[in-house]
């Protein structure tokens, strides 16, 4: 396995961690956050099946105070 910065060539469509919100984020939204420089996304790539994402994490230089999050978005 290899840790890399997410690139367009990486296949995100097959990724599933079992948490719908996290699956949807990498498939639909992470590219927007990276383009707007809101986050950097690192992926764990399967060496046997290059370009398949088997895990990911993001880093951001900002944060949101929990008190600023609307109640309906808190879990």
For residue 75, pLDDT beyond 70 = no
Q: Which CA distances in Å does 65 have to 21, 40, 74?
A: 20, 20, 12
| pLDDT tens-place string over residues 28-51 | 999 999 999 989 999 999 877 778
For residue 4, pLDDT beyond 80 = yes
Do 34 and 40 form a contact (C-beta atoms < 8 A)? yes
The domains of the chain are located at 2-61
Cβ-based neighbour number of residue 5 at 10 Å: 10
| pLDDT tens-place string over residues 47-67 | 777 788 999 999 998 888 888
Give SS3 for 67. Answer: helix
**pTM for this prediction:** 0.76
Rounded Cα–Cα distance for residues 21 and 60 (Å): 18
In the structure encoding, which two tokens stand for residue 71, read together? 């109640």
């Amino acid at each position: 396995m290899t840790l890399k910065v997410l690139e367009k060539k990486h296949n995100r469509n097959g990724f599933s961690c079992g948490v719908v919100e996290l699956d949807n984020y990498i498939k639909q939204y992470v590219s927007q956050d990276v383009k707007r420089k809101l986050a950097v996304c690192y992926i764990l790539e399967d060496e046997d099946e290059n370009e398949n994402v088997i895990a990911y994490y993001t880093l951001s230089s900002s944060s949101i105070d929990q008190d600023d999050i609307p109640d309906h978005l808190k879990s």
